[in-house]
Amino acid sequence: MWVLGLCGPDPFLAELLMAECDDRARRRSERRIKAAGFPRQKSLRAFDFDANPNVDPAVINTLAACDWVKKGLPLCLIGDSGTGKSHLLIALGTEAAMAGYRVRYTLATKLVNELVEAADDKQLTKTINRYGRVDLLCVDELGYMEHDRRGAELLFQVLTEREEKASVAIASNESFSGWTKTFTDPRLCAAIVDRLTFGGNIIETGTDSYRLAQTRARAEHAAG
C-alpha cells in the first residue's frame, strides 16, 4: 500500500513502512529460532569448509534453500566427533526457521526418555502429535547411546508419524551399519534406517576431527 503525498508516494513514510515490515520479519525469525531449542548458535557462514573437504559447499548451500523441508524429506549427517555434523544440523535448522518453518531440536536420548515417560503417564499420543506438528525435527547424537526395544519402538512411532509428511534431520557418529549397536533389534533398526533415508540426503562428514586439528594448531602456535 502506497502512502500518498501531494506529489505521489512519500518516500520517507514508505521507507518507515518497509523498515517496520523488516523488523517484524526479524522478530518472527528470532521467535522461531528460540522455539527450536538449539543449544547454541551455529551458522553456515561460520562453517570451515576448507578444514573439512568431505563436505561439499554447493550441496550445503542447496540444502540451505530448504526445498527438502518443504517436501518433507529426511537428512542424515554421518561422521565422527569433531567433523562438523552437529554444526551443520543446527545451522541448517536455523536456516529453516529463518525461512518460516517450525523447527525443533533435541538430543536422541532426550527424545527417547521423553517418549518413555509420556507412555508411562499415558500421554504418548499427545507427545507424538506435538513433535508431529513441527516442519523439521532435528535429532542430534543419534548412535551415541544404546536404546532398548521399547525406546526404539517409540522413536520409530515418531518417525513413522512424520514419514513423507514432515522432515527429520539427524546427526550420528555411527555409519548405518553400526546402528545395530544402538537399535539392537535388526528388523526395527532396518525400518528406522529406511524411514531416515528414503528419498532424502545423506551427508558424510568424514572421520578426521578438524576441531581437534584446530585445537592442536592453536596449541602449537601458542607454544611457538
The three-state secondary structure class of 211 is helix
Structure confidence by residue, pLDDT tens digits, 78-124 = 999 889 999 999 999 999 999 999 999 999 999 999 999 999 999 99
Q: What is the mean pLDDT of the chain?
A: 86
Domain boundaries, the chain: 1-36, 37-223
- Pairing state between β 167-172 and 103-107: unpaired
Tallying the residues shown for the chain, one arrives at 224
> Which percentage of the chain shows pLDDT scores above 90?
55
Residue 18 sits at φ, ψ, to 5 deg, of -65, -40
Model confidence band, residue 222 (pLDDT cutoffs 50, 70, 90): low
| Of the listed ranges 16-20, 80-84, 215-219, the one predicted with least confidence | 215-219
Model confidence band, residue 204 (pLDDT cutoffs 50, 70, 90): very high
Q: pTM (2 decimals)? A: 0.82
Could you tell me the CA-to-CA distances from 38 to 23, 152, 156 in Å, in that order? 22, 23, 23
The three-state secondary structure class of 93 is helix
C-alpha–C-alpha distance, residues 148 and 170, integer Å? 19
pLDDT score, position 224: 56
Does 208 or 69 have the greater pLDDT score?
69
- Whether the pLDDT of residue 181 is over 80: the answer is yes
- CATH class label, 37-223: alpha beta
